[in-house]
């Protein structure tokens, strides 16, 4: 064997040993203590009954469990190279249990617990929507008014498209404003703190394309991170408060969400308890989140805190609480604004205000997924008619696929409602 071949083999063996060590540590730290021992049997069954992901539509159908071979959660974590997961399950409008699995960072021995903080990514948009609707209820914002007439410190640049129709808050919340995503993401120069207006204008030290209306507002669906940054600026303009402060006062404090923040850089008591994102190979990438562009994906929180938020939305929708919004507003928020083709949008059948919907009536679910690159995911889903729901957060790029497998096991164990898709779907 040549010296070159020997060196190549050593590199392969070294990488394999590092990867093997990582997952041995993961399995040792695999299971942090659950919050409720009464759910122990359910938890064990869920952990041992995962099935290979076959598509999101199967989650909501009677055949969602099928006859596939059952698999173990720790094996699926290894398969997807996801170092850590945290889960909170809601039943009868209460947190039934919460549990952490694995480690916060590859190469560490610090286990994920129910108190470990994760990145909520785009699930932050649901929080932003609730904050906006609070101001609509107060009469300080209008869903259908030209957004440029409500913005104070900046305006959406006009063009031929805005000459035909105006951008409104309703269109921003439903991703039908015509605003760009933008391609290439929303980034910033290392060590800098761009203003939100610099982000919207695409000016240095922001590293993104500027906000631009690319279609006639209201004419089609185009998922837009930029649209929610416009909402963030609108909320700041109207209230005179930073977005993070407004979230704390409007949502976190009323609901007791003590492990939630939108303050970046993170304060000291958060820093030591936050996951590191990992790419699809399981390699950690620690990089600060954007310090000012927050509404599209800046929330740091736990599944338990997001479960408290989810429960309040369900209870409010049923007229059992008004700590955030009235039943009338929540029923509008969770009503169909327009339909989606579930075959093209991960099983989602329709659009609410700042939230996605699956099914209708007693079998309606509201949900919002999130994924931050290079590797942090969040899935929030709930059935307001039954009080069932779940929040699953991971620190791996392929965490969403794993979350779907976990979610299917939770749905089966707790008997969640079945969704009837249209014929041929």
* pLDDT band at residue 35 under the 50/70/90 scheme: low
- The proportion of the chain whose per-residue pLDDT surpasses 70, expressed as a percent, equals 89
Q: Worst-scoring range by mean pLDDT, 56-65, 201-210, 354-363?
A: 56-65
Average pLDDT over residues 359-384: 97
Contact 112, 118 (CB under 8 A): no
Contact 50, 70 (CB under 8 A): yes
Q: Based on C-alpha coordinates, what's the Rg of the chain?
A: 22
| Residue 37 predicted with pLDDT over 80 | no
* pLDDT band at residue 57 under the 50/70/90 scheme: confident
User: What tens digit of pLDDT does each residue of 209-233 get?
Assistant: 999 999 999 999 999 999 999 999 9
Only one residue has tokens 């929330």, namely 299
| Residue 123 predicted with pLDDT over 70 | yes
Closest by CA position to 321, among listed 311, 335, 331: 311
Closest by CA position to 317, among listed 308, 330, 307, 335: 330
User: What tens digit of pLDDT does each residue of 262-321 get?
Assistant: 999 999 889 889 999 999 999 999 889 999 999 999 999 999 999 999 999 999 999 999
User: What tens digit of pLDDT does each residue of 331-351 get?
Assistant: 999 999 999 999 999 899 999
Report for 17-21, 290-294, 341-345, 418-422: range of highest mean pLDDT: 290-294
Q: What are the angstrom distances between the C-alpha of 396 and each of 43, 86, 332?
A: 22, 12, 34
Cα-flanking dihedrals φ and ψ of residue 311, to 5°? -60, -40
Contact 156, 211 (CB under 8 A): yes
Average pLDDT over residues 404-409: 96
* pLDDT band at residue 61 under the 50/70/90 scheme: confident
Closest by CA position to 205, among listed 184, 222, 219, 191: 191
Using CA atoms, how far apart are residues 124 and 371, in angstroms rounded to an integer?
Answer: 10
* pLDDT band at residue 18 under the 50/70/90 scheme: very low
Average pLDDT over residues 370-386: 97
The pLDDT of residue 420: 82
Using CA atoms, how far apart are residues 366 and 314, in angstroms rounded to an integer?
Answer: 9
Closest by CA position to 341, among listed 228, 221, 225: 221
| Residue 423 predicted with pLDDT over 90 | no
Average pLDDT over residues 236-243: 99
| Residue 48 predicted with pLDDT over 70 | yes
* pLDDT band at residue 68 under the 50/70/90 scheme: confident
Mean pLDDT computed over every residue of the chain:
91
The pLDDT of residue 271: 85
Using CA atoms, how far apart are residues 404 and 377, in angstroms rounded to an integer?
Answer: 11
> Measured at the alpha carbon of residue 339, what is the angle toward residues 338 and 345, in degrees to the nearest 5?
125
The pLDDT of residue 67: 64
User: What tens digit of pLDDT does each residue of 137-193 get?
Assistant: 999 999 999 999 999 999 999 999 999 999 999 999 999 999 999 988 999 999 999
Using CA atoms, how far apart are residues 253 and 112, in angstroms rounded to an integer?
Answer: 24
Q: How many residues does the chain have?
A: 425
- The proportion of the chain whose per-residue pLDDT surpasses 90, expressed as a percent, equals 82
Domains, the chain, with CATH or none: 35-121+277-283+299-414 (3.40.710.10)
Q: What are the angstrom distances between the C-alpha of 69 and each of 48, 52, 81, 289, 407?
A: 11, 8, 20, 39, 16
- Expressed in angstroms, the distance from the first to the final Cα of the chain is 56
Contact 101, 327 (CB under 8 A): no
* pLDDT band at residue 17 under the 50/70/90 scheme: very low
User: What tens digit of pLDDT does each residue of 102-120 get?
Assistant: 999 999 999 999 999 999 9
């Amino acid at each position: 064997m040549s010296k070159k071949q020997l060196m190549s083999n050593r590199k392969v063996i070294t990488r394999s040993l590092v990867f093997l060590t990582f997952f041995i540590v993961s399995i040792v730290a695999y299971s942090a203590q659950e919050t409720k021992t009464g759910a122990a049997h359910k938890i064990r069954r869920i952990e041992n009954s995962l099935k290979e992901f076959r598509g999101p539509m199967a989650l909501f159908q009677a055949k969602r469990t099928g006859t596939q071979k059952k698999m173990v959660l720790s094996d699926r974590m290894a398969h997807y190279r996801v170092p850590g997961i945290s889960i909170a399950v809601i039943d009868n409008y209460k947190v039934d249990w919460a549990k952490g699995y694995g480690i916060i960072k590859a190469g560490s021995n610090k286990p994920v617990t129910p108190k470990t903080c994760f990145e909520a990514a785009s699930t932050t948009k649901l929080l932003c929507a609730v904050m906006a609707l609070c101001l609509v209820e107060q009469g300080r914002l209008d869903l259908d008014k030209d957004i440029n007439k409500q913005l104070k410190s900046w305006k959406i640049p006009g063009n031929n498209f805005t000459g035909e129709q105006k951008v409104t808050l309703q269109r921003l919340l439903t991703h039908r404003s015509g605003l760009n995503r933008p391609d290439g993401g929303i980034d910033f120069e290392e060590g800098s703190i761009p203003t939100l207006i610099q982000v919207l204008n695409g000016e240095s030290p922001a590293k993104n394309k500027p906000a631009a209306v690319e279609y006639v507002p209201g004419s089609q669906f185009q998922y837009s991170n930029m649209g929610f940054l416009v909402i963030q600026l609108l909320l700041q303009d109207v209230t005179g408060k930073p977005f993070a402060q407004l979230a704390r006062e409007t949502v976190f404090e009323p609901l007791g969400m003590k492990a939630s923040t939108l303050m970046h850089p993170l304060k000291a008591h958060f820093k030591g308890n936050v996951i590191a994102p990992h790419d699809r190979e399981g390699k950690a990438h620690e990089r600060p989140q954007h310090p000012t562009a927050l509404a599209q994906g800046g929330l740091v929180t736990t599944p338990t805190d997001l479960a408290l938020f989810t429960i309040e939305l369900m209870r409010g929708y049923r007229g059992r609480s008004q700590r955030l919004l009235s039943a009338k507003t929540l029923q509008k928020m969770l009503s169909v604004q327009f339909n989606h083709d579930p075959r093209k949008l991960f099983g989602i059948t329709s659009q609410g205000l700042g939230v996605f919907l699956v099914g209708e009536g007693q079998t309606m679910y509201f949900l919002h997924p999130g994924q931050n690159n290079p590797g942090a995911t969040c899935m929030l889903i709930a059935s307001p008619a039954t009080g069932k729901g779940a929040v699953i957060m991971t620190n791996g790029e392929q965490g969403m696929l794993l979350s779907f497998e976990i979610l299917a096991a939770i749905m089966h164990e707790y008997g969640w409602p079945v969704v009837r898709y249209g014929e041929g779907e």
